[in-house]
A and B are shown apart, each in its own frame.
Chain A
């Protein structure tokens, strides 16, 4: 039975889609690592709403101009790394796909960027003179599924329509010229597809925006039903790990649903959150105890630190431990890679479900109070439930115990993943 599962996962991971995904995201790790460090510094330390800035009362001694400029700088880095990441992802995905099938990789990459930009054309908003006429929606790292999928498809078009090509160390100008002309057919077909898609979006008045996820999120923000909450938590986690990060990101933003506000008002007036009206609010349980952006990923990173023989992975885990504590795990997501990694995705869902069920159970038993108080942006995940319960010690202890349980849950999965990966590598080397 186990052998059968292993063989099947191995077969899956040998598919070009997953091989390309792994390479694409590992290659882009430095970009996302830098972005996630900037993000962690911004939301944990420097921004005016941030945790460290407020607990140290830095506004008393850090001059305004300094914070202001630092915030600007960090936002710019974050923007450069994440908001246009779709371009890098589309390039890399097409490049690796074409390379895998021994086609012209460079032009496949460029074609892929061009096509993505074409689909992102924002015809409805002409904008100002200097503004680019593109919608940032698909270019954002939170839509990596689309940019990656597109890059992969264009790589495949090059596979079917382009002539074979062996990358060589030195290329004469005449060879280059021939290669460029040879690539015209797949390039034109890709661009034609891009134009058709763009026109379709334009004619059907599809507004590329986060509004797509609003109703799903609205339910998650407001549901007090544990099972519904778990179902949506699985959906949000799964989407985030296959490159649709908008719902998870929004979930980690401000929760201004009527239910959450009612909870906080009740807690503030009564000085404790034990008897708030909505105890099992899915969004609150998820962000406090099952957050794929922070808490759960932290457990995975610790599991990797404990297990990894592989220098590359261990260094990655070391570097991403701190950013992840401040809900900025992108470096780890892409470097491990967690994104499009079937084994790790299953592991995440298991851990999320366990955490949500356990938490709901303990809330029901009244061992821990629900979280309801306001916390600062970027409060480290292991401290967040403690703060959000106005300093309940049981919550702190539970947070630590749960983290250990999560690490233990991840260990067999990480081991299994490493085993499969060794098999893939051996096969590729052979």
Chain B
């Protein structure tokens, strides 16, 4: 009698495994299918976030500039996240476009640290949906003003949930005030301290460009230079590389920066994929 009991336990274990193997099999098939779709996908979008008070239309001009003289135009998808997390789409991604531009804006687009945290959560809602819809596994990020801060907050608090599957290759911020209105890092705002506190979570293979405008010698007319440059304390020695670029001349004022000719050039040069990036990758795989 006693001897039978433990043999029953073995039978029970086998039944348990047999029963659970069915949903395990289903999970495996769907997960591998999804993952392989993602691996095969050559789409690598640029996702842009405008600054405070701006809408999803903020970058229309910039995208037009980027599309000038291009045979294959970047398609433009605009996503607005409402305060309740609902997504409103306008525009679309062309099926053959490997580098679409996606602009994510927020219904509540106000300034301030508490709003930036909320916006990062909304960004995550939109990002999650986009990864499910488009199956990309790499992307580039661009943020004007507070948009750069929202990206940074998202990187420190949300990115780890995706990082094994989806990679942010490059981040470009444009006039992003990491220390808000403070021009010296001796006065640390709460947000800046938090960015420093969690900087270890930033991905070590990320390439970061920080662009700043110079209207006067110390500011772009709105944001102090010291606040933009404070980014180095967050990124330097943490990401793969961090480069700060100072832009002066026409359209170097904070709000004009997205239309600035130099900015357009820098985006083309540093943020967008080179036309033959994918071709090279293809050759590499073939070589094996």
Contacts and interface: CB of A to CB of B under 8 A. Distances in A.
Q: Do A and B actually bind? A: yes
Interface of A: 51-52, 54-56, 265, 268-269, 271, 277, 302, 305, 314, 317-318, 321-322, 325, 373-376, 379-380, 382-383, 386-387, 390-391
Contacts of B200: none
A383 B17 contact: yes
A325 B39 contact: no
A51 to B, nearest CB: 7
B13 A268 contact: no
30 contacts: A55-B20, A55-B24, A55-B26, A55-B27, A56-B23, A265-B39, A268-B36, A268-B40, A269-B39, A269-B40, A302-B10, A305-B7, A305-B9, A305-B10, A317-B6, A321-B9, A321-B10, A373-B28, A373-B32, A374-B31, A374-B32, A379-B24, A380-B17, A380-B20, A383-B20, A383-B21, A383-B24, A387-B24, A387-B25, A391-B28
B6 A376 contact: no
A398 to B, nearest CB: 15
Contacts of A325: 13
Given A54-B27, A277-B288, A321-B13, 5 more contacts: A56-B23, A321-B10, A322-B13, A390-B32, A391-B29
A268 B24 CA distance: 18
Given A269-B36, A269-B39, A305-B10, A376 B27 contact: yes
Nearest to B25: A391
B35 interface: yes
B27 A268 contact: no
Contacts of A380: 17, 20
A239 to B, nearest CB: 28
A376 B285 CA distance: 28
A271 B25 contact: no
Contacts of B24: 51, 55, 379, 383, 387
Interface string B31-53: 11001100110000000000000
A391 B20 CA distance: 14
Contacts of A391: 25, 28-29
B28 A390 contact: yes
A324 B122 CA distance: 41
Contacts of B36: 268-269, 271
B224 to A, nearest CB: 33
A314 B39 contact: no
B275 to A, nearest CB: 23
A174 B25 CA distance: 69
Most B CB atoms within 10 A — which of A52, A317, A391?
A391
Contacts of B9: 305, 318, 321
Contacts of B288: 277
A314 to B, nearest CB: 6
Nearest to B285: A269
A52 B17 contact: no
Contacts of B31: 374
Contact of A268 (B5, B25, B26, B39): B39
Contacts of A54: 27
Interface in B254-288: 285, 288
Nearest to A389: B28
A253 to B, nearest CB: 13
Contact of A55 (B7, B23, B40): B23
A429 B22 CA distance: 53
Contacts of B6: 305, 314, 317-318
Contacts of A382: 17
A268 B32 contact: yes
A125 B172 CA distance: 36
Contacts of B35: 268, 374
| Pairs A-B, 3 closest by C-beta atoms | A55-B23, A268-B36, A268-B39
A257 to B, nearest CB: 14
B111 to A, nearest CB: 30
Contacts of B29: 390-391
Contacts of B5: 318
A317 B5 CA distance: 12
